[in-house]
Chains A and B, each alone.
Chain A
Amino acid sequence: MIGNLLYIVFSGVAYGVLLFLMSAGLAVTQGLMRFANLAHAAFAMLGGYIAVTLMNSLGWPFLLTLPIAALGTAIFAAILERTLFRRFYNVSQLYQIMLTVGIVSMSVASVTFIWGSVNQPVRMPDYLSSSIAIGNFDIDRYRLFLILAGGLVVWALIYGIDSTSFGAKVRAAVDNRRVTASCGINVDRLFMLAFFIGSALAGLGGALSVNLVGLSPTFAVDFLAYVLIVVTLGGHGSMKGALVAALLLGVVDVAGKYYVPQTGPFIIYALTVVVLFWRPNGLFAKA
């Protein structure tokens, strides 16, 4: 009984870490610019494809592909932001959604064109592919790695937001953009940097998720709902909110599938509804 619970928490936290990496960037940029960037899930997908291509075509070791996936995704996203997204910051959210959903559709078609629609093969190094038996449970080494690596990134992010001057500026801009700008802080550049880092995280999350959830052109669509739930539950602009929401979603999703599989995806949507009834602006939203 206790064993089952431990397993659910372990498995759910690993899943939650993935969801956090994929959504954290969106939470911050949404908080900063109020820009509804649904294409964020497509950035995560791009990270996955970069990692898989480096591994399969060039034979790179898995760990080395991770920073490149993050960097490559961030550069691509930054180009898109400078050339396209910035023109849409001051229009209604409906236009932003139309624009970015269009990009998601284009990403699905482009990825199918380049890589085909089959699930991408990926081989993990041996030290990440087997499992460690503890009692009745097989602790999947990859999930363990995910929790440790994800934990490191989470710590770095929270430290960065809480204790650096960049973080302080971001927090200030989320709270009140106009006053921040009037203090002489270049909010536009701040946003560019935050967008860059957020997209890098999405790329990293995408690369890390391939082994766990597979990678095919529908990835962006499959994860779009999860990413949006995390951002909405956490509250726009809150890194800690996104973290708590992602972990909660991960654990509840796993627990629901384990105990009441017949309810399908109902559980996580029910969770979303209940939380939003209680806190309409998300768990960590500033009033």
Chain B
Amino acid sequence: MKRYRRATFLAAGMLILGAGTVLGDQTPIRIGVIYSFSSAGGTAGREFNDVVALFQRQHGDTIDGRKIEIITRDDGGIAPDNAKRLAQELIVQEHVDMLAGLIFTPNAVAVGTVSTPSKTPVFIVNATTSNIMAKNPYMSRYSMTATQVTVPLAKYAYKTGMRNMYVIYMDYGPGIDSGQTFENSFTAEGGKVLGEIRVPVNATDFSAYLQRMKDAKPDGIYIFLNANGSGTTFLKQAKAQGFDKAGIKIFCAGDLVTEQVLPAIGEASIGVISSMNYSGTHDSKLNRDFIKAFEAQSGGLPPTFGGVGTYDAFTAMYKVIEAQKGQIDPDKTMEIVKTLKFESPRGPIAIDPDTRDIVQNVYIRRTELRGGKLVNTEIDTYPMFRDPSEHA
């Protein structure tokens, strides 16, 4: 009975949409947003709103006479059930033409189960696990994958003389993925992993782990920890325990040292080597303008990779809507998505037609003090890099 009713709703929704199309109309195009605005996603949520406000100020809120309406829902953190329910509500009741957002992989996977049968294009802003895309033909991604940024970092570490490394990562999905990807790539290059430590998610004191790693005398360590708390504490403790004096280099994914958290880490961040798809110091006019406009919007807070992902997802959606002259068809939308290629504040990006995943430069950066401000300076680039695991 319930399923029957849902089908009726869907049918009714499609009828209304269909009628609108025939009338060549002025009804708004609706974008449903599912993102985390409360709990752990609070900061990211604020950045998302700032970017959307900024984007619509720059690019307007009408295309071909049709207003772009954004309907926002909060999934409240890692909550797949919630995300799925919100996606259903947005599709069935709000008749959205496309969905955007999604910070967490479990939520993205759950939304996928709704997007495929209802043929709703989804523009992923974060959710960085590799395996999301293959199973969800109406999804495309504008962030990165953890593998995509980890493999170049392992290559770079070996290239710059690291031979023996210690690996430490948080004991949960993304941590295990990244840690093991690093280990595999680094050993494939010819390096040796001296040992690995899986850190419980709620760990707060890292001194013993640090001492254990230091005693193993590695050339460097790779860390994957939670950017909001433990990463900052870890880096500060590493400095207090003399990692810099012992000449042990620290490698990590760029989310640990975003421009927003660098002040909290302070001096302990200097010399950290990270890999990421975006850094604030990226030297292009588009990036400088983006940062200036964003900081005016946010009240001085610098943008991070999350903000850039949001900006690019909206660029993609606007391009797709423009190309269809306001008559949105899901399959045509996905055809256009597969040809997307444009300049982002992070550099050139493209959507891989086979995987609908992002192809972009991966930057190796070193955290430095420049003009009294901590920044990530790009020191090497792996150009137009694809997630290797999706092309196996």
| Residues of A in contact with B (beta carbons under 8 Å apart) | 4, 7-8, 11, 15, 109, 112, 116-123, 129-131, 133, 136, 138, 140-143, 211-214, 216, 218, 222-223, 225, 253-258, 261-262, 264-265
Q: Is B40 an interface residue when CB atoms closer than 8 A count as contact?
A: yes
CA gap between A136 and B246 in the complex, in Å: 10
Q: How far is the CA of A184 from the CA of B309 in the complex (A)?
A: 69
Inside 8 A of B202's CB, which chain A residues have their CB?
222, 225, 265
Q: Establish whether residues A257 and B209, one from each chain, have CB atoms under 8 Å apart when the complex forms.
A: yes
Chain B residues whose CB sits within 8 angstroms of the CB of A214 once the complex forms: 204, 229-230, 232-233, 236, 264
Tell me if B198 is interfacial: C-beta within 8 Å of chain A: yes
Contact B228 A117 (CB under 8 A): yes
Minimum C-beta distance from A205 to chain B (A): 13
Tell which of A136, A138, A261 touches B198, judged by Cβ atoms closer than 8 Å: A261
Residues of B within 8 A of A212 (CB): 205, 233, 237
Show 22 A/B contacts (Cβ-Cβ < 8 Å), sorted by A: A4-B211, A8-B208, A116-B42, A117-B41, A117-B42, A117-B228, A118-B43, A120-B264, A133-B242, A136-B215, A140-B237, A140-B240, A140-B241, A213-B233, A214-B230, A258-B212, A261-B199, A262-B197, A264-B171, A264-B198, A264-B199, A265-B200
Taking the closest CB of chain A, its distance from the CB of B76, in whole angstroms, is 11
CA distance A134 to B281 in the complex (A): 39
Q: Is the CB of A118 within 8 A of B205?
A: no
Give the complex CA separation of A213 and B264 in angstroms.
12
A221 to chain B, nearest CB (A): 8
Q: How far is the CB of A23 from chain B (nearest CB, A)?
A: 15
* Chain B residues with CB under 8 A of A117: 39-43, 228
Confirm or deny: B21 has a beta carbon within 8 angstroms of a beta carbon on chain A.
no
Q: How far is the CB of B250 from chain A (nearest CB, A)?
A: 16
Q: A140-B207, A222-B204, A257-B209 are in contact. List 12 more A-B contacts (CB 8 A).
A: A4-B211, A117-B39, A117-B40, A118-B261, A138-B242, A142-B240, A214-B204, A214-B233, A216-B229, A222-B202, A258-B212, A265-B202
Interface set of B (CB-CB < 8 Å, partner A): 38-43, 46, 171, 197-200, 202-205, 207-209, 211-212, 215, 228-230, 232-233, 236-237, 240-242, 245, 260-261, 263-266
* Contact in complex: B43, A138 (CB < 8 Å): no
Tell me, rounded to whole Å, the shortest Cβ–Cβ distance linking B241 to chain A: 5
| Across-interface contacts of B237 in A (CB, < 8 A) | 140, 212
Q: Closest CB of chain A to B235's CB: distance in Å?
A: 10
Known contacts A214-B204, A216-B228, A254-B208: A119-B240 contact under CB 8 Å: no
A-B contact count (CB 8 A): 112
Tell me if B211 and A7 are in contact (CB < 8 A): yes
Chain B interface secondary structure, helix, strand, loop or mixed? helix
| B367 vs chain A, min Cβ distance (A) | 15
- Distance of A4 from chain B, by nearest CB (Å): 7
A114 to B257, CA, bound (A): 23
Residues of A within 8 A of B46 (CB): 116
Q: Is the CB of B261 within 8 A of A119?
A: yes
The complex places the Cα of A265 from the Cα of B197 at a distance, in Å, of 13
- When C-beta atoms are compared, the residue in chain B nearest to A12 turns out to be B208
Q: Which residue of A119, A129, A143 has the most chain B CB atoms within 10 A of its CB atom?
A: A119
Contacts of B266 in A (CB 8 A): 121, 123
A interface, over-half SS: helix
Which residues of A lie under 8 Å from residue B230 when comparing CB positions? Answer: 214
Please give the distance in Å from B49's CB to the nearest CB on chain A.
14
**Nearest CB of chain A from residue B353's CB, rounded to whole Å:** 37
Task: Please tell me if the beta carbons of B236 and A211 are within 8 angstroms of each other in the complex.
Answer: yes
Q: Is the CB of A213 within 8 A of B197?
A: no
Among residues of A, the one whose C-beta sits closest to the C-beta of B230 is: A214
Q: Which of A119, A133, A136, A261 contacts B212 (CB 8 A)?
A: A261
Q: Report how far A225 CA is from B200 CA in the complex, Å.
A: 14
Complex: how many Å from CA A133 to CA B41?
40
Query: For the complex, what is the distance from the CA of A130 to the CA of B236, rounded to whole Å?
Result: 10
Q: How far is the CA of A8 from the CA of B202 in the complex (A)?
A: 20
Residue of A nearest to B234 (CB): A214
Docked pose: A213 CA to B234 CA in angstroms: 8
Taking CB atoms, residues of chain B closer than 8 Å to A222 are 202, 204
Partner of B228, one of A119, A141, A253, A258: A119
Q: What is the minimal beta-carbon distance from A255 to any residue of chain B, in angstroms?
A: 7
A223: chain B residues at CB < 8 Å are 204
Q: Which of B40, B197, B209, B240 is the one whose CB lies under 8 Å from A131? A: B240
Nearest-neighbor residue (CB-CB) of A14 within chain B: B207
Determine the residue in chain B with the shortest Cβ distance to A3: B215
Q: How far is the CA of A213 from the CA of B240 in the complex (A)?
A: 13
Tell whether, in the assembled complex, residue B245 and residue A213 are in contact, meaning their CB atoms are under 8 Å apart. no
Residue of A nearest to B243 (CB): A138
Contact of A253 with B242 in the complex, beta carbons under 8 Å: no
Cβ contacts under 8 Å, B245 to chain A: 133, 138
Q: When A and B form their complex, which 4 residue pairs have the shortest distance between CB atoms, in order from nearest?
A: A257-B208, A138-B242, A121-B264, A214-B233
**Cβ A116 vs Cβ B43 within 8 A:** yes
Q: What's the nearest-Cβ distance from chain B to residue A9, in Å?
A: 11
Interchain CA distance A97-B229 in the complex, whole Å: 27
Inter-chain CA distance A120–B228, complex, in Å, is 10
A130 to B261, CA, bound (A): 21
Alpha-carbon distance between A194 and B202 when the two chains are bound, in angstroms: 31
Residues of A within 8 A of B264 (CB): 118-122, 214
A129→B43 CA distance, assembly (Å): 29
**B229–A138 contact, CB under 8 A?**
no
Chain A, residue nearest B204 (CB): A213
**Cα-based distance from A23 to B233 in the complex (angstroms):** 22
Report the Cα distance A4→B210, complex, angstroms.
12
Q: Which residues of B contact A109 (CB under 8 A)?
A: 38
Minimal Cβ-Cβ distance residue in A for B45: A117
Given contacts A213-B233, A258-B212, contact A131 B205 (CB under 8 A): no
**Minimum CB distance partner of B232 in chain A:** A119
Bound complex: CA A118 to CA B262 (Å): 11
